[in-house]
Amino acid sequence: YVWNISFNDNHHLNNLTDQELNSFVSPKLTLYGHTSTVTCICVSTELDLVVSGSLDGTCNIYTVEHGIYVRTLRPMGDPIVNLQLSNERHILIQTEKDDTHLFLYTINGGLIRTKKLEYKIVDMLLSDQHIILAVNHMSLPQPTNNSVVARIVIKHMFEMKTMQTIRLRTQINCLYFTKDFSHLLVGVKDGKLIVLTAEKKSLSKHVAKNNQM
């Protein structure tokens, strides 16, 4: 579904009852096309695109405004577990079955690059020049304070070559970029938020860990 959210006054969502919330949020469009469970969705109002991935191995592209079907991407038939859509009109798809694969497409359906990975991806982000991957290692029987149990892998978007690896002593839950791509937020399993700062468009060269909160 594509939903409309409309505000006529200064109501705050967290103060609304279920009945009041239903008056603000209403379904606008229903999108069809997958034959199995939808696992991931990305929306860009700037590009007027909705991109969805499914266990059926397909990635469908629609318009946001009118829900018009655009095209279907079929990387290799394996279940799609994650995808990212960049403002530069690229789609990054992660499939996972026996192996983990990444596929980089243009929104026009052109396949730019594919890569098989030797590790499982927890989360991923796509910026204008980089792919950011979160990877957790297998839990150690007796971890120490210096044990590396996770890493953030920074890859060149088009070549998919590793440019930098940031090692962490706690496992990762999720990644998030701030709006201007100046900070990478890393949610970790010990309840902290790690903030990585970077010079814009030079993420791999200027990474420094800020205070953990």
Structure tokens at 54: 């499914």
Kindly list the domain boundaries of the chain, sorted by start residue. 1-30
- Residue 24, pLDDT > 50, answer yes
Higher pLDDT, 139 or 205: 139
- Residue 210, pLDDT > 50, answer no
Structure tokens at 125: 């982000």
**What is the secondary structure of 53-86 as a DSSP string?**
EETTS-EEEE-TTT--EEEEE-SSSSPEEEEEE-
The pLDDT tens digits of the residues spanning 57-95 come to 999 999 998 999 999 999 998 999 999 999 899 999 999
* pTM of the full structure: 0.80
User: Mean pLDDT in the chain?
Assistant: 84
pLDDT in the model for residue 10:
53
Contacts of residue 189, defined as CB under 8 A and 6 or more positions apart, other chains included, come to 170, 171, 172, 173
- Residue 213, pLDDT > 90, answer no
CA distance 119 to 149: 13
pLDDT above 90 covers a percentage of the chain that reads 62
The pLDDT tens digits of the residues spanning 131-184 come to 999 999 876 555 556 677 999 999 999 999 999 999 999 999 999 998 888 899
Q: Which helix (H) or strand (E) holds 18?
A: helix 18-24
